[in-house]
Amino acid sequence: MAISNRRTRRLKLLIGAAVIAMAIGYLVYGGLQDTIVYFVTPSELEAKGVSAHGKSLRLGGLVKEGSWVREDGTLLHTFELADETSTIRVRFRGIPPDLFGEGRGALVEGTYGPDGIFQAKTILAKHSEEYKAAQDHAAEDSRAIMYNSVIKGSQTQ
Amino acid sequence: MISQLGSILLITALAVAIYGIAASVLGARLQRWEFVASAYRAVLWLFALVTVAALLLVMALVTYDFSIAYVARNTLRGTPLYYRVTALWGSLEGSLLLWQWLLSLFSAAVVFSQGRKIRDLMPYAVAILLTVSAFFLFIMVVPANPFRAQFPVPPDGRGLNPLLLTTSMIFHPVFLYLGFVGFTIPFAFAIGALVTGRLGEEWIVATRRWTLMAWYFLTVGILIGGWWAYTTLGWGGYWAWDPVENASFMPWLMGTAFLHSIMIQEYRQMLKTWNLTLVIMTFMMTLFGTFLTRSGIISSVHAFSNSSLGAYFLLFIGLLLLFSLAALVYRMDDLRGQPELDSMLSRETTFLANNVILVVITLTVFLGTMFPVIAEAVRGVRVSVGAPFFNKVTVPLAYLLLLLMGIGPLIAWRRASWDNLKRNFTYPTLAAAGTALIAALWTRNPYALITFAVCAFVTATIVFEFYKGVYARRKLAPGTSVLRALWTLFTRNRRRYGGFVVHFGVVLTILGIAVSSNFAVEKEVRVTRGETVQVGDYDLRYEGMRAYDEVYREVVWTDFTVMRGGRAIATLSPGKSFHPNEQQPIAQVGIRSTPWEDLYMILGAVEQDGSAATLKILVNPMVMWIWIGGAIITLGALVTVIPGRPTRRSAIAASEATGPAPARTLEYSGSR
């Protein structure tokens, strides 16, 4: 039926827009609920304690020197992420990215278990460095560092 | 020398643009057409100046003029010639110059081809084009000068990131910019329409080809970006909902909505306000997308730099948006009195639903992309919103959209009768149900089943349409061969049938995306030399490692024999290359592509003696169809834009047979 009344038409338009706005709000809110991932530092994680269990989190810190242990024959890695005040143990199964190493920053995504160990699903490369030059390394050094980071059996110091 | 010359050219171009704006607007307001003519000449001069500037930069790049900072950053000695040329758009400043060059090229084309038509509207459209040009020239003159000199002159350049030295990266930015800049034209004409009050179909018809072309280039540009991510970035996928990927996706969504809704205005003179709003939002999205990429506000894989550019962009977008909306409100009264929607079951409603869904997707992607920024600004929490969110909200809507794509072209205008619905959709619905049943024998994944069903539905509607068209034509002219009938279908009604081809390409792309997303197999393994590992149907035997020292990189390859059913079918050599100026090695992914599936190998680490290696191996089914779909979209788009002969009404009416004909006789033909 053709609706000829202008006021009714405008009302319909408004209702339509409101419905759409609510749909978007619902979609976004509902969508974000289970998928949003919070950044935490080791100190913040320790402070959160129990309330952080089970949630999907991103933990960023410095890989503590001497803490990186690779179980031979498997893809299991354990290491510790630290900031000024706290240290969190991390367990990861898989292949760490090339920029990962002791004494460097790392970002892991996963869940914090009641056993106090962070189960990491992925280790994220630090984006800001991906496309920039190694300004602070001399050309020779950076090559050696990179080569060694891939070829196992030689730790970079 | 080049540095000063280039800078002067840009400043002069900026001055010319500003002059053009003034002359154009003044001339139109005061009805002094010689001013307007002068402004049009200014547009051509602008193109000449920017072209010379661009050529200058290319020359500097080709001749290794490291006294210019941009050249030193984007080339190094030994970079092949074609990569030196394409380094023009390798990073920020140069890409701005490319954008500006394309804009001045398009502006000149518009003035050249349409200078005499729509005289009232053109001056304002040209003024808008020149305003955008002036903005880009301004930011090139002030914060981001491509010709900035560098002292002391370094002996060698740093070189572009090797990830960008690929064929796909030669085309990806250009195609994207062709799309973005292309949408400036309908935007400019829309503003012209608002200012002059000529709110009919004039501005749409004048810019229809531009809209189509812009949409096409944006679509293919995005697909090439996905191709690059898949083959070069080497993480196993083609789309990560990265903020910069979203930055190109949002204009595409709005552009698609706009492309379709202008058809409604052409046919039924409806949705005038909506179209104007859409084109404004599409263009704002392209500017916003550029802002997202350039400002580094959300650091991501693409972020070029962290400069004050962002502030300039935001300011410009804000001002332009305010101006556009003001113009819209100003003409609010004149935009009334349009035909109403007659029925919920009609082509108009289907197109409207298509638009609404596209806008909803755009807004959710926008909110998801900006949420981390907002959350940090408002609550001080740092969060990330990733693929799970975007997939969750967009996938169901995408299915709806796909369904509408099948319904839209066939359903009748104004009011679809039950008879009309039955006639058009019985077979496709049966095809959909049948496909779902057959697929259910093989998988229970609901997403896959829905995808197959809807893709079958849309394909059936397309095939059905071609069948009806050919049948009708052969009835009209008995003795015509099927091939000839098909040919005539295309030549007599390019837009409709070219559109069908494009839709079919979309179906293939979505099929490829859905299947590869739902059925991919992934495995991380550690192999020793001689050992065989099994992934999917394949047995992969690690043969050993090779290392090469090339002039500008060191490469490590690990060789694998690919076997299936006991027979060796291929060798793949995933590897890593190390570059002197890069901190991180570049993955050299090993891919074996077939239409059925891709075998994809990423090298993680390898022992120094090559005795063992860790890899991530994926089997991605039907990825090739994404690219094949892109090729078909190209074909369809080409068909649509080629000018055709005016159509004869009777033939079209007989072949379409979609119910009561629309009120106006503006034919849906390829005559323009």
Nearest CB to B606 within list A133, A150, A154: A150
The predicted model scores a pTM of 0.88
Nearest CB to B389 within list A35, A129, A143: A35
Which residue type sits at A2? A
Q: So what's the pLDDT on residue B466?
A: 92
Q: Please give the class, per CATH, of domain A39-126.
A: mainly beta
* Integer Cα distance of B589 and B612 in angstroms: 18
Coil, helix or strand for B578?
strand
Residue with tokens 């990423």: B602
* Integer Cα distance of B666 and B652 in angstroms: 12
- Contact call for A152 and B526, based on CB within 8 A: no
User: Taking 60 as the threshold, does the pLDDT of residue A113 lie above it?
Assistant: yes
- Contact call for B583 and A2, based on CB within 8 A: no
Question: What residues form DSSP beta bridges with B602?
Answer: B616
Residue A143 contacts B, CB cutoff 8 Å = yes
Q: Give this complex's ipTM.
A: 0.76
* Integer Cα distance of B152 and B145 in angstroms: 18
Q: For B384, which residue in chain A has the nearest alpha carbon?
A: A37
User: Taking 60 as the threshold, does the pLDDT of residue B347 lie above it?
Assistant: yes
Nearest CB to A133 within list B158, B363, B576: B158
What is the number of residues in chain B?
Answer: 672
- Contact call for A58 and B585, based on CB within 8 A: no
With pLDDT > 70 as the criterion, what percentage of chain A qualifies?
A: 76
Q: For A150, which residue in chain B has the nearest alpha carbon?
A: B605
Q: For A142, which residue in chain B has the nearest alpha carbon?
A: B583
Q: For B370, which residue in chain A has the nearest alpha carbon?
A: A28
pLDDT range class, residue A131, cuts 50, 70, 90: very low
* Integer Cα distance of B167 and B81 in angstroms: 13
Listed residue (B148, B223, B134) closest to B184, CA to CA: B134
Q: Which residue has the higher pLDDT, A151 or B518?
A: B518
User: Taking 50 as the threshold, does the pLDDT of residue A147 lie above it?
Assistant: no
Which two three-digit tokens encode residue B545? 């490692």
Q: For A100, which residue in chain B has the nearest alpha carbon?
A: B584
Q: What is the pLDDT of residues B208-220, one digit of tens each?
A: 889 999 999 999 9
pLDDT range class, residue A120, cuts 50, 70, 90: very high
Q: So what's the pLDDT on residue B645?
A: 54
Which residue type sits at B300? S
CA distance B610 to chain A (A): 9
Q: B81-88 long-range CB contacts below 8 Å, 24 or more apart?
A: B82/B170, B83/B160, B83/B165, B85/B58, B85/B61, B86/B169, B86/B170, B87/B61, B87/B160, B88/B54, B88/B57, B88/B58, B88/B61
Question: What residues form DSSP beta bridges with B643?
Answer: none
* Integer Cα distance of B253 and B456 in angstroms: 23
Nearest CB to A153 within list B356, B607, B615: B607
Q: What is the pLDDT of residues B83-127, one digit of tens each?
A: 999 999 988 889 999 999 999 999 999 998 865 567 788 999 999
Substitution target from A11, A28, A38, A122 for chain B, most B beta carbons within 10 A: A28
Residue A25 contacts B, CB cutoff 8 Å = no
Coil, helix or strand for A82?
strand
Q: For B610, which residue in chain A has the nearest alpha carbon?
A: A151
- Contact call for B576 and A98, based on CB within 8 A: yes
Q: So what's the pLDDT on residue B117?
A: 60
CA distance B116 to chain A (A): 39
User: Taking 90 as the threshold, does the pLDDT of residue B221 lie above it?
Assistant: yes
CA distance B608 to chain A (A): 5
Cβ atoms B150, B249 nearer than 8 A: no
* Average pLDDT over every residue of B186-203: 91
Q: Which residue has the higher pLDDT, B306 or B580?
A: B580
Q: Which residue has the higher pLDDT, B132 or B295?
A: B132
CA distance A156 to chain B (A): 14
* Integer Cα distance of B361 and B322 in angstroms: 24
Which two three-digit tokens encode residue B222? 């995005």
CA distance B19 to chain A (A): 40
Highest mean pLDDT among A153-157, B63-67, B269-273: B63-67
- Contact call for B388 and A35, based on CB within 8 A: yes
Burial class (CB in 10 A: 0-12, 13-18, 19+), A7: exposed
User: Taking 70 as the threshold, does the pLDDT of residue B530 lie above it?
Assistant: yes
Q: Which chain B residues are closer than 8 Å to A147 by Cβ?
A: 554, 578
Q: What is the dihedral of CA B420, B645, B188, B290, to 10 degrees?
A: 80
Q: Where are the beta strands (DSSP E) in chain A?
A: 36-40, 56-63, 69-70, 76-82, 87-93, 105-112, 117-124, 151-152
Question: What residues form DSSP beta bridges with A60?
Answer: A107
- Contact call for B371 and A32, based on CB within 8 A: yes
Peptide bond into B152 cis (omega under 30): yes
- Using left for φ > 0, alpha for ψ between -120 and 50, and beta otherwise, residue B73 falls in alpha
Nearest CB to B384 within list A39, A75, A125: A39
Q: So what's the pLDDT on residue B54?
A: 96
- Contact call for B585 and A131, based on CB within 8 A: no
Q: Please give the class, per CATH, of domain B520-624.
A: mainly beta
Q: What is the dihedral of CA B72, B584, B606, B566, to 10 degrees?
A: -80
- Contact call for A37 and B383, based on CB within 8 A: yes
Residue A37 contacts B, CB cutoff 8 Å = yes
pLDDT range class, residue B299, cuts 50, 70, 90: low
Nearest CB to B582 within list A28, A133, A150: A133
Q: Where along chain B do its domains lie?
A: 1-160, 162-343, 403-518+629-656, 520-624
- Contact call for A35 and B386, based on CB within 8 A: yes
CA distance B272 to chain A (A): 14
Q: Where along chain A do its domains lie?
A: 1-36, 39-126
Residue A4 contacts B, CB cutoff 8 Å = yes
Cβ atoms B645, B251 nearer than 8 A: no
Q: Which chain A residues are closer than 8 Å to B388 by Cβ?
A: 34-35
* Average pLDDT over every residue of B494-501: 92
Q: For A71, which residue in chain B has the nearest alpha carbon?
A: B526
